[in-house]
A and B are shown apart, each in its own frame.
Chain A
């Protein structure tokens, strides 16, 4: 958790934080609300800008749509034998010298907590077949950009030209302290995986050993969360299972269908299958109704997620299955033939494009900048797509699939095409919907949500252009201000510079080959939910108390009240707030408050929204709109809203998290730990909390167990 001797510093940071909050409150008392946002008396500052809390990002004279949008950079998939040392079921505790800046002495080479509790579950049943080895390090030039498509399908970008770490060719390179990314390079990374092909993801921490060498924000300890991966807790990126510079962490991602221990265990259902390398498929165990497609992974460091993810610690992960093959031509009665390509048996990216949206800000030197002291949230004043500023993207006149990720810190997006024409939403949070949903304006997209859409560019003439437009104005980290009409957004009738056109599609040619892709109906029906055995409630509030003082706890303005607690509690990853029994299904009600909006993420397995109340009215139904009628892992509460979900707890064990994915809220301290209770076998009950240091991970009993947890 903290370095030896750092406790005072940690407490000092808490005091400073408390002091800042108190000071802010004093300012409110004496000077009114405007004092909280000196550059934003209502919406927008005196200069009309978004209150980043920083000076407006200088433009350096750049114009929109003057650079191509790069495809994400594929991570190499290697043989497991390339990993040295070889991966081990339990953490590798081989000792190495620890840098004096980290306390000296010696410590383990792997930062994963040692021993059987944090051993890879299912390591023998699902031995890794693919090794992906990455570093986390400061920005540098990319001399090995691998977009996975030809230059003609990547807006003419020559991958042999070194790719510089900058938001625009006219902006300076990001320095190695300003931006920290996977492998230290741009574009952001994309991992391709498929079911039944377990991945060993080895991440080396190559960040500075001196924690003050961070460019003003971010921390050098990291924990990578495979967002909505259905894995054991040791591979989930638990917020307290972080590791230090010069260590690595082996994440074992088995990539299995949920329910593999109880449904279709004999792998006889032909719908539950994974693509092979010759155009065929191989049956696998589990429930194919749980098939997942578009994931991402990002840092989850306790109380630093917002800063680290903003700094660049985010990547995407496409998971392929027999249903979602990434080949639009194979017609076997299972493959949905979504837009992708035909050259490879699976994972064609020709017409399947990852989109990472994030608002950013930079300082006078063009270096990434972040305001750490606004606990409502952080908004940038520049829009980036795949981490370049307002680019263009060349397309053929045919159908494309776009996997859109909201990778912002606190900003919501609402997307439309500039001509108001239709996009077909096919997936929500990486889960293909039961039915495709044609929409002219997507719903407001919360942080960490993923919307997969299909756009048919065959309706446009070659040589024409159309733009993606953001309709949501937001000038406060708490929640959106308002959604503009398409005409208003195009006219620039807003104080928010991130509203309006942000990506220019250039229809450059007829399809190189006939478009044989489909958008079928149905796609993936929802799984049948077992009987609910228990209900719980979680209220997400803006005033919280802290009942613990250990190094695993944190104090902030945000908190969560569990099962009717009067007071919300600040985060403490040593506290167990819920412990569903292994193999059961529970119904959880998530309650929001007024004046803010929280996109709530629950780790481990996607759930289904059973009902919404107070936020959507549909006569005679459960108030759930069509695009939320599949499975999800991020649940927008909306101001004053309530969402009730059903979720299953099966296959794996360990400790997981539930938190607001407005990561500023998460960091300050709207996060709780829950764990799967298997009754004490084979794990302890309750699980001990890992305490990470460079010299090794120790364990302590939970700080607190809420009375309704077990």
Chain B
């Protein structure tokens, strides 16, 4: 009997809670929202030979595409997925003119704020067969600014250096 009383209580509470919960879900006032914006910028900078161990400094320049997908959810702190594609950026050896490619692709989860500073690393390597085996590391610094009303990127600046 005790068990059945307990069971009944659980069922009744469950049903009551479920009904109220359904009501809550039904009248959930705010909705999640996704806002995507893209910004293309020119970045430049130098990876010093002293840090990379290469025989020469490598100077980078080129276009970098930043896409911000802002997830606004009333139940969670607003987050943003920042996707970076910098593979169009080319490096040039300061002494030899050697061309360096990179694998600067990244998806970064960030907390949304009016401004955000991102520091992320990327691999770069000579434009030659098998050179990825001796990749070096560059540091990409991005300064992102958002319109907090529209949740869109309004400006991005960036530079390249080393750790």
Binding site for B on A (CB under 8 A): 8, 12, 15-16, 18-19, 21-23, 25-26, 28-29, 33, 42-43, 416, 419-422, 424, 436-441, 443-444, 456, 472, 476, 478-483, 485-487, 519, 521, 543, 593-595, 614-619, 625-626, 638-640
What's the nearest-Cβ distance from chain B to residue A27, in Å?
10
| Docked CA distance A287–B154 (Å) | 49
Q: A18-B14, A444-B109, A639-B81 are in contact. Are A593 and B32 (CB under 8 A)?
A: yes
Q: A438-B103, A438-B132, A595-B32 are in contact. Are A28 and B24 (CB under 8 A)?
A: yes
| Docked CA distance A261–B5 (Å) | 60
| Docked CA distance A43–B85 (Å) | 29
Q: Are B110 and A485 closer than 8 Å at their CB atoms?
A: no
Question: Does B21 make an interface contact (CB < 8 A)?
Answer: yes
| Docked CA distance A619–B38 (Å) | 11
Q: Are B120 and A594 closer than 8 Å at their CB atoms?
A: no
B contact residues, total (Cβ < 8 Å): 53
Q: Are B77 and A441 closer than 8 Å at their CB atoms?
A: no
Please, which residues of chain A bring their CB within 8 A of the CB of B1? none
Please, which residues of chain A bring their CB within 8 A of the CB of B71? 594-595, 639-640
What's the nearest-Cβ distance from chain B to residue A25, in Å?
4
Q: Are A472 and B17 closer than 8 Å at their CB atoms?
A: no
Q: A25-B21, A594-B32, A618-B85 are in contact. Are A16 and B10 (CB under 8 A)?
A: yes
What's the nearest-Cβ distance from chain A to residue B118, in Å?
7
Q: Which of A12, A28, A521, A615 contacts B132 (CB 8 A)?
A: A521
Please, which residues of chain A bring their CB within 8 A of the CB of B132? 422, 424, 436, 438, 519, 521
Question: Does B65 make an interface contact (CB < 8 A)?
Answer: yes
Besides A422-B135, A616-B67, A617-B65, 17 new A-B residue pairs in contact (Cβ under 8 A), listed by A number:
A15-B14, A16-B10, A18-B17, A19-B10, A19-B14, A23-B17, A26-B21, A420-B139, A437-B103, A478-B76, A480-B109, A615-B69, A617-B67, A619-B85, A638-B81, A639-B69, A639-B71
Please, which residues of chain A bring their CB within 8 A of the CB of B16? 22
Q: A25-B24, A422-B137, A618-B85 are in contact. Are A485 and B119 (CB under 8 A)?
A: yes
Q: Are B107 and A19 closer than 8 Å at their CB atoms?
A: no
Q: Which of A8, A26, A593 contacts B20 (CB 8 A)?
A: A26
What's the nearest-Cβ distance from chain B to residue A57, in Å?
25
Please, which residues of chain B bring their CB within 8 A of the CB of A638? 81, 107
Q: Are B83 and A438 closer than 8 Å at their CB atoms?
A: no
Q: Are B69 and A614 closer than 8 Å at their CB atoms?
A: yes
What's the nearest-Cβ distance from chain B to residue A66, in Å?
28
Q: Which residue of A lies closest to B7 (CB)?
A: A12
Q: Are B107 and A625 closer than 8 Å at their CB atoms?
A: yes
Question: Does B41 make an interface contact (CB < 8 A)?
Answer: no
Please, which residues of chain A bring their CB within 8 A of the CB of B77? 42-43, 481
| Docked CA distance A480–B79 (Å) | 9
Q: Are B107 and A595 closer than 8 Å at their CB atoms?
A: no
Q: Are B34 and A640 closer than 8 Å at their CB atoms?
A: yes
A-B contact pairs, 19 of them (CB 8 A): A8-B7, A15-B10, A22-B20, A25-B20, A26-B21, A29-B24, A33-B75, A439-B103, A440-B135, A441-B121, A479-B79, A521-B130, A594-B71, A595-B71, A595-B76, A618-B85, A618-B105, A640-B32, A640-B34
What's the nearest-Cβ distance from chain B to residue A561, in Å?
16
Please, which residues of chain A bring their CB within 8 A of the CB of B106? 441, 443
| Docked CA distance A28–B32 (Å) | 17
Binding site for A on B (CB under 8 A): 7, 10-11, 13-14, 16-18, 20-21, 24-25, 32-34, 36, 38, 65, 67, 69, 71, 73, 75-77, 79, 81, 83, 85, 103, 105-111, 118-123, 125, 129-130, 132-133, 135-137, 139, 163
Please, which residues of chain B bring their CB within 8 A of the CB of A8? 7
Q: Which residue of A lies closest to B82 (CB)?
A: A483
Would you list the 10 A-B pairs with minimal beta carbon distance, nearest first? A22-B17, A594-B32, A617-B67, A19-B14, A25-B21, A595-B73, A440-B121, A438-B123, A422-B135, A485-B119
Q: Which residue of A lies closest to B34 (CB)?
A: A640
Q: A19-B10, A438-B103, A639-B71 are in contact. Are A485 and B120 (CB under 8 A)?
A: yes
Please, which residues of chain A bring their CB within 8 A of the CB of B21? 21-22, 25-26
Please, which residues of chain A bring their CB within 8 A of the CB of B34? 594, 614, 639-640
| Docked CA distance A441–B18 (Å) | 44
What's the nearest-Cβ distance from chain A to residue B82, in Å?
9
Q: Are A486 and B108 closer than 8 Å at their CB atoms?
A: no
Please, which residues of chain A bring their CB within 8 A of the CB of B130? 521
Please, which residues of chain B bring their CB within 8 A of the CB of A481? 77, 79, 109, 111
Q: Are A456 and B133 closer than 8 Å at their CB atoms?
A: yes
What's the nearest-Cβ distance from chain B to residue A38, in Å?
16
What's the nearest-Cβ distance from chain A to residue B54, in Å?
13
What's the nearest-Cβ distance from chain A to residue B51, in Å?
10
Please, which residues of chain A bring their CB within 8 A of the CB of B76? 476, 478, 595
Identify which of B20, B109, B132, B136 gathers the most chain A CB atoms within 10 Å of its CB. Answer: B109
Please, which residues of chain B bring their CB within 8 A of the CB of A625? 105, 107
Q: Are B20 and A626 closer than 8 Å at their CB atoms?
A: no
Identify which of B11, B32, B69, B81 gathers the most chain A CB atoms within 10 Å of its CB. Answer: B81
What's the nearest-Cβ distance from chain A to residue B19, in Å?
8
What's the nearest-Cβ distance from chain A to residue B131, in Å?
9
| Docked CA distance A616–B118 (Å) | 17
| Docked CA distance A422–B76 (Å) | 34
Q: Are A424 and B17 closer than 8 Å at their CB atoms?
A: no
Q: Are B13 and A19 closer than 8 Å at their CB atoms?
A: yes
| Docked CA distance A441–B33 (Å) | 29
Q: Are B109 and A19 closer than 8 Å at their CB atoms?
A: no
What's the nearest-Cβ distance from chain A to residue B130, in Å?
7
Q: Are A616 and B83 closer than 8 Å at their CB atoms?
A: yes
Q: Which residue of A lies closest to B85 (CB)?
A: A618
Q: Which residue of A lies closest to B123 (CB)?
A: A438
Q: Are A441 and B120 closer than 8 Å at their CB atoms?
A: yes
Please, which residues of chain B bring their CB within 8 A of the CB of A43? 77
